Structure 1
Amino acid sequence: MKGIYTALLTPMDERGEIDFESLGALIRHQLAHGVQGFYAGGSTGEAFLLTAKERMELLEAVIGYTAGKAKVIAHTGGIGTRESVELARHAEKAGADAVSAVVPFYYKPGIQEIRDHYRSIMSAVSVPMIVYHYPGATGVSLTMDFYESMAADPQCMGVKFTSMNLFEMQQIRARCGPGFLIMNGHDEVYAAGALMGADGAIGSTFNMMPSLFTDMFARAESGRWDALPELQTQANEVIGHMLQFDVIPYEKYVLYLQGVLRTPTVRSPLKRFTGEEEARIESFYSGNPLLVRHASQPAAGQIGGTGA
């Protein structure tokens, strides 16, 4: 399961309901640009703003639209073990290739409780588990002993490592061995993550510029490291601009400009851009060849577009 996996956005219509038509368009767009798989219902997908029923419907749609052309990792994590188990059972039944779960947060469980949480999920299904480590969002740090104990379980395939601490990533590789999958999670350091031993990446900005990262992965796999800094610089020009705004609304707005999504709607309480903010994003977009190159066709009324 190495490779570039897009952490899929969840398209929404003007009412804030899941837009399944745009979801299909997004998946086809990603497949056309060569991604190896999808991470469905994660942080980028506004998972914690969806009901459990919506998360299940979303996953079923992703698997249906993918039609076996790429791997699907289902994010089934939540604060509580019971809901995570329920979502994991559904994911296996729906045909997901693996499940993943963010470290349980808010109530600050200890390492043993976190380990028990994952083992409860794994015992409920037969598909592989990928731990989702995102301390910037959860506030939870994991120990090397935790990783070693999880790697000792053959059902635990690896970790989605969303942290800037690449020394820690390298230590996981050293302690858990080459068979433990490490997926880079911060897109802005993917080139460095690949050098430190990542087997691929699960990324949010891949929604906007997938072929750049599939190119980076191919070059890393073949040892052509000299090209990666320039490609990472191109990605980081976009990411640097995005970080002046809010990530999920920004990515949806760019995909709207690219003609992939019908609306850039996000679910409350995520930010809605002002007209001035939209104009700034449109100006950057129109002057960025990387983003324009990924366009399906411009959205109606945007950048001289004729409709999508």
Structure 2
Amino acid sequence: MTRSFPAAEKSFRGIWPALLTPLTADLGIDHAKFAAHCKALIASGCPGVTAFGTTGEGPSFSLQERKEAIDQLIKNGIPAAQIMVSTSCAALPETLELTRHAVTAGVHGCLMLPPFFLKGVSDQGIIDGYRYVIDGMAGTPFKLYLYHIPQVTGVPLSHHVISTLKKQYPDTIVGIKDSACNTEHSVGLANAFMKDMTVYVGFEPDLPEMGKRGSTGAISGLANFMPRLVKRLVTEPDAAATPAERERVVKLIGLLNGYSLMPALKGIMAILSGDKAWLRVRAPLVALTADEYQALEKTIAAFGIDTKSE
């Protein structure tokens, strides 16, 4: 049985894909293709999109590049209220500046990693990092989603950090994205915090379990090319077809295990769109080799992705 909580009204619903970022030949952001990708996802039923998260190689782009990309998405017809931006930068003043720019532009909200350059830091240091940005917004209201992905950042968000920030900024902190890919941890977050804010997961196989516990959507990498299926996993967790669809996602993730994830996801976009420009990534990521692309092409052809129903 699916539960719901009043706190969910403050946060987003549905699937806001963790956008892959298309690049030009000189590895700049391809603004036209970026906007076209957003429009296609919104047309498929996604209520919004999420730019510059981990899937989007966010910290690999400069402050100015990300500010310009936000402006270009809006200029090219993506409603600001349907954009979420991961504003995480290594330097807190840049995180604040990007957050201020995004909020001023009218975006739905901001997704934010803890300060991630230094490892082994204390809970208080992490709290102070978030406070620097929130207090720096000088009372400007905005929605902030905490972002837990310790296998990438090396800096986990403890329950103490989350509860402290929620108590200090109850109207600002509206959700948390847990991308640790640990079901037990995600369930623990849901049990601890779902009454006060929405807990989302990035690991798609956990979506039915989280949907049953009141989660209202997801920021998902696979949703770049199968948003409808991902949506069903979290919004229809008790449906008869859900176990089979979950196993389909588990199988796809397993097929990608031999690849670096972001280049592989871009490879799938290239295969499905027929546009190999999607293969481009920024260092330190390395694009798929010709042999890897051909192997992935065969794998995806055998797996089959129906872009009209999935």
Fold similarity call, TM over 0.5: yes
Q: 2:174 corresponds to which residue? A: 157
Q: CA deviation at 1:206?
A: 0.9
Does residue 1:202 correspond to 2:222, yes or no?
no
Q: Which runs of 5+ in 2 are unaligned?
A: 1-11
Q: CA deviation at 1:282?
A: 1.1
Kept after mapping to 2: 8 A contact 1:158/1:181? yes
SS in 2 for 1:130: strand
The one of 71, 77, 80 aligned to 2:82: 71
Q: CA deviation at 1:207?
A: 0.7
Partner letter of residue 240 of structure 1?
G
Across the two proteins, how many residue pairs are aligned to each other?
292
Name the CA distance, whole Å, in 2 between partners of 1:50 and 1:190. Answer: 29
The one of 136, 139, 143 aligned to 2:151: 136
The answer to which structure, 1 or 2, has the higher relative contact order (CA under 8 A, 6+ apart) is 2
Pair 115,239 (structure 1): closer, same or farther in 2 beyond 3 Å: same
The one of 232, 254, 259 aligned to 1:245: 259
Partner letter of residue 189 of structure 2?
I
Q: 1:39 corresponds to which residue? A: 50
Name the CA distance, whole Å, in 2 between partners of 1:113 and 1:93. Answer: 27
Partner letter of residue 7 of structure 1?
A
Q: 2:7 corresponds to which residue? A: none
Partner letter of residue 299 of structure 2?
F
Kept after mapping to 2: 8 A contact 1:184/1:194? no
Q: CA deviation at 1:50?
A: 0.9
Q: 1:299 corresponds to which residue? A: none
Pair 229,34 (structure 1): closer, same or farther in 2 beyond 3 Å: same
Q: 1:115 corresponds to which residue? A: 127
Name the CA distance, whole Å, in 1 between partners of 2:288 and 2:114. Answer: 31
Pair 177,23 (structure 1): closer, same or farther in 2 beyond 3 Å: closer
Partner letter of residue 112 of structure 1?
Q
Does residue 1:227 correspond to 2:238, yes or no?
no
Q: 2:270 corresponds to which residue? A: 256
Q: CA deviation at 1:97?
A: 1.2
The one of 13, 16, 22 aligned to 1:2: 13
Pair 196,136 (structure 1): closer, same or farther in 2 beyond 3 Å: farther
Q: CA deviation at 1:113?
A: 1.6
Q: Which runs of 5+ in 1 are unaligned?
A: 296-308
Q: CA deviation at 1:197?
A: 4.1
SS in 2 for 1:7: coil
Q: 2:9 corresponds to which residue? A: none
Q: CA deviation at 1:10?
A: 0.7
Kept after mapping to 2: 8 A contact 1:22/1:261? no
Q: 1:61 corresponds to which residue? A: 72
Instruction: Let me know the Cα RMSD of the aligned residues.
Output: 2.2
Partner letter of residue 24 of structure 2?
D
> In terms of mean alpha carbon deviation, does 171-180 or 119-128 score higher?
171-180
Cα deviation 1:119-158 (Å, max 9, x = unaligned): 2212214211111111111122222222222222221111
Partner letter of residue 258 of structure 2?
Q
Name the CA distance, whole Å, in 1 between partners of 2:214 and 2:16. Answer: 17
Name the CA distance, whole Å, in 2 between partners of 1:244 and 1:53. Answer: 34
Q: 1:276 corresponds to which residue? A: 291
Pair 244,80 (structure 1): closer, same or farther in 2 beyond 3 Å: same
1:206-221 to structure 2, matched below 5 A, reads 206-220=223-237
Does residue 1:27 correspond to 2:38, yes or no?
yes
Q: CA deviation at 1:98?
A: 0.7
